[in-house]
């Protein structure tokens, strides 16, 4: 019985090889894997010696040989295949353990195209695909996490078709992901990231109980171990909808700097509370005032550690999901009786995604990711006679960032570093303003002196008329309407300051 071992990631391969030898397998190997096994006193045969064919072209050709691929691919239950194998001296290879050249790691550390090309594996994927194709007879192993399980199965005579099918699927996932990374990189390097094909590959983290609704299945998939690197589950199990709301809340809460005391509350993907005060406790209390009705059962993102006092305040109502940078044991104990509550720790800053995509019927639309650049606000231009004071400038920055991360059409109203009204996802900007005003009135909030941000230009002066009625003192918007002059004139008429950023942030 032969097992072929040739891996780039060599963690665990010595123990795996030793266990296979103990089970009666003869080991075929190449290059660094061969040397490691032999240095570890594990008997292994050089593939070149086995095939009687030396490596060519600095190792580019070594396993591409009939004795290797024939030994993997010939059908053990086909008489003609067995006869040819005997005639050609081809012996069956029953286990293929391969993981591939580190292409992803190479492109992350260098732009040397020659080195990158040499880290595109050829023989490895060919062996993996061959073994997977012939999984009726061959066990293919591509994940070091499976070594222990595989050995246990072999020891207990459980090398079943079901096991080989499971490993076959993992093998094709492995090669598909590998090839996708190469294709995406080449398009990134030579086509600006927008080639004829785009591949989106995610690693499954866990299955959710269901999708958006109970009749739908759902799961979380991650890029680059994102979830495992950035979040730790402390209590409860996140649902499909929890995950999308967590994403919205954390993006806003973390958008104001790692050391800010920001708190964002989200319901159904939309912010219903935000504040940036001197302490997390003050921020939470101020954020809750915006819309405490919608906040019930929502997601709260805390840009810092939750301590006992803040936990007691949060515990006064039902927050379904709490995401924070840390939580004390005392604070965790406060939430122990909340059976339906979920708590997650964000233990690393969120990286910026380079691209964004949305599913549409029959495909997806793909684009560069949007972000609010600091210079948009710093270099915004004052268009009105009325100038800004420091407090207005601070509030406008907060409002503008929230607006950019909220569904269009949206208008955002901030006062004293806290969200006091918001209208989002509306078909017109005036309707968004009306909805915001109605909610603020219901909550008994004083909007006099607040500032307003819009993610896109005001097409008519009616939005300014509405802002004046709400007590708005300053507005920030991209500008760019054919009626900008009318809008500016309306602001001057009411004594409202207005800034143009010249950058639109639609979010659909």
Which residues are part of the catalytic machinery? 133, 268
Spatial contact of 139 and 158, defined as CB atoms under 8 Å apart: no
Asked if omega into 362 is within 30° of 0 (cis), the reply is no
Q: Return d(Cα 314, Cα 335) in angstroms, integer.
A: 9
Q: Is the dihedral of CA 68, 73, 78, 84 positive or negative?
A: negative
At 86 the three-state DSSP class reads: helix
At 56 the three-state DSSP class reads: strand
Spatial contact of 384 and 498, defined as CB atoms under 8 Å apart: yes
Q: Which residues of 1-10 are buried (b: 16+ CB within 10 A; e: fewer)?
A: ebbbbbbbee
Q: DSSP letter for 302, please.
A: E
Q: Which residues of 246-274 are buried (b: 16+ CB within 10 A; e: fewer)?
A: bbbbbbbbbbbeeebbbbbbbbebbbbbb
The size of the chain, in residues, is 508
End-to-end CA separation in angstroms for the chain: 58
Q: Return d(Cα 324, Cα 306) in angstroms, integer.
A: 7
Q: Return d(Cα 392, Cα 173) in angstroms, integer.
A: 53
Query: If we measure between CA atoms, which residue out of 72, 59, 2, 68 comes closest to residue 31?
Result: 59
Q: Return d(Cα 471, Cα 437) in angstroms, integer.
A: 10
At 345 the three-state DSSP class reads: strand
CB burial of residue 68 (10 Å; 0-12, 13-18, 19+): buried
Q: Return d(Cα 219, Cα 197) in angstroms, integer.
A: 25
At 264 the three-state DSSP class reads: strand
> In this structure, how many other beta carbons lie within 10 angstroms of the beta carbon of residue 109?
9
């Amino acid at each position: 019985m032969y097992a072929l071992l040739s891996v780039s990631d060599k963690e665990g391969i010595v123990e795996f090889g030793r266990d296979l030898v103990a089970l009666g397998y003869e080991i075929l190997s190449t290059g660094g894997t061969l040397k490691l096994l032999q240095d570890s006193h594990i008997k292994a045969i050089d593939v070149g010696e086995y095939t009687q064919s030396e490596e060519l072209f600095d190792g580019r050709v070594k396993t591409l040989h009939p004795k290797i691929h024939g030994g993997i691919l010939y059908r053990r239950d086909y008489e003609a295949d067995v006869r040819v194998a005997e005639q050609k001296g081809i012996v069956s290879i029953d286990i293929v353990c391969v993981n591939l050249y580190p292409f992803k790691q190479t492109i992350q550390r260098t732009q040397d195209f020659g080195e990158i090309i040499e880290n595109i594996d050829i023989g490895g994927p060919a062996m993996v695909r061959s073994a997977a194709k012939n999984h009726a007879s061959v066990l293919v192993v591509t994940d070091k996490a499976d070594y222990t399980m595989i050995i246990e199965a072999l020891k207990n005579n459980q090398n079943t078709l079901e096991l080989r099918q499971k490993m076959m699927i993992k093998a094709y996932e492995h090669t598909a992901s590998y090839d996708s990374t190469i294709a995406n990189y080449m398009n990134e390097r030579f086509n600006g990231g927008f080639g004829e094909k785009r591949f989106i590959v995610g690693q499954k983290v866990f299955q959710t109980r269901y999708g958006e609704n109970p009749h739908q299945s759902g799961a979380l998939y991650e890029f680059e171990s994102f979830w495992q690197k950035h979040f730790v589950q402390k209590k409860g199990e996140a649902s499909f909808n929890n995950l999308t709301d967590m994403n919205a809340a954390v993006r806003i809460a973390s958008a104001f700097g790692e050391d800010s005391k920001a708190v964002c509350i989200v319901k159904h993907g939309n912010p219903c509370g935000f504040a940036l005060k001197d302490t997390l406790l003050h921020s939470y209390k101020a954020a809750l005032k915006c819309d405490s009705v919608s906040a019930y059962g929502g997601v709260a993102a805390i840009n810092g550690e939750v301590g006992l006092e803040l936990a007691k305040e949060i515990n006064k109502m039902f927050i379904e999901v709490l995401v924070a940078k840390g939580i004390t044991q005392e604070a965790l104990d406060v939430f122990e009786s909340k059976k339906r509550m979920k708590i997650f720790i964000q233990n690393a800053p969120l990286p910026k995604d380079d691209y964004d995509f949305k599913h549409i019927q029959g495909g997806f639309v793909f684009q560069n990711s949007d972000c609010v650049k600091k210079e948009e606000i710093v270099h915004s231009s004052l268009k009105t006679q009325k100038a800004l004071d420091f407090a207005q400038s601070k509030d406008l920055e907060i409002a503008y960032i929230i607006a950019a991360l909220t569904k269009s059409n949206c208008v955002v109203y901030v006062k004293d570093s806290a969200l006091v009204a918001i209208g989002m996802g509306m078909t017109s900007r005036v309707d968004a303003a009306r909805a915001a005003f109605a909610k603020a009135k219901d909550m008994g909030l004083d909007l006099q002196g607040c500032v307003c941000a819009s993610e896109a230009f005001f097409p008519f002066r009616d939005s300014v008329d509405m802002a004046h009625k709400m007590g708005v003192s300053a507005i920030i918007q991209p500008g760019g309407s054919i009626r900008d002059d009318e809008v500016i004139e309306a602001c001057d008429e009411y004594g409202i300051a207005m800034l143009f950023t010249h950058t639109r942030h639609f979010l659909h």
